[in-house]
Amino acid sequence: MDDKIRQALLKQVEKEPFAQKFGLKLIDLQEGYAKVGMAFTEDMENIFGMAHGGALFALIDESFEIASNSHGTMAVALNMNINYIASPVKGSYLTAEAKESNKTKKTATYDIRVTDSQNNLIAACQALVYRKDKPLPFLGK
């Protein structure tokens, strides 16, 4: 992976307000791949005391965003299909791994898996991006 792209993404993710709000942490970054972690905290529960789907989606979307933009060109989501498999145990540390499975000039697909610290599958997602023919706007900064 190009180091300029890596450093720009690391810097941008670190200061992203949404990621800060949910405590999303970038664990690993490679071209076409990202691993993001998040602690499942009490304020992420739904009305049943289980993980809110929106909190899990936030984790999935963050890994997807980073992996799909790791080539240095802007990529925006077109579709995400998520299967919620299990609710994590309260206090669990969750990770989402987004892996690129196919890339063309205009689109790319990703397989994303959310697991807990015991490697239990929490959610699985297939996602599609549109790859714009524009460099990441923050590469020059």
- In a domain? residue 87: yes
pLDDT at res. 141: 55
**Residue 96 burial class via C-beta count within 10 angstroms: exposed 0-12, middle 13-18, buried 19 and up:** buried
Residue 93 lies inside a defined structural domain of this protein: yes
Q: In this structure, is residue 140 part of a structural domain?
A: no
Asked if the structure places residue 82 within a domain, the reply is: yes
CATH number where 45 lies? 3.10.129.10
- Domain count within the chain: 1
In a domain, residue 64? The reply is yes
pLDDT in tens, 30-48: 999 999 999 999 999 999 9
Task: Render pLDDT for 44-59 as a digit per residue (tens, 0 to 9).
Answer: 999 999 999 999 999 9
Residue 141 lies in a domain: no
Q: What residue numbers bound the domain in which 122 lies?
A: 3-135
pTM of the model: 0.96
User: What beta strand segments (E) does the chain contain?
Assistant: 25-30, 33-39, 73-84, 93-103, 107-115, 121-135
- High-pLDDT (> 90) share of the chain, %: 97
| pLDDT tens-digit readout, 90-137 | 999 999 999 999 999 999 999 999 999 999 999 999 999 999 999 999
* Any domain includes 41: yes
Q: What rounded mean pLDDT belongs to the chain? A: 96
Residue 85 lies in a domain: yes
Phi and psi at residue 5, in whole multiples of 5°? -65, -45
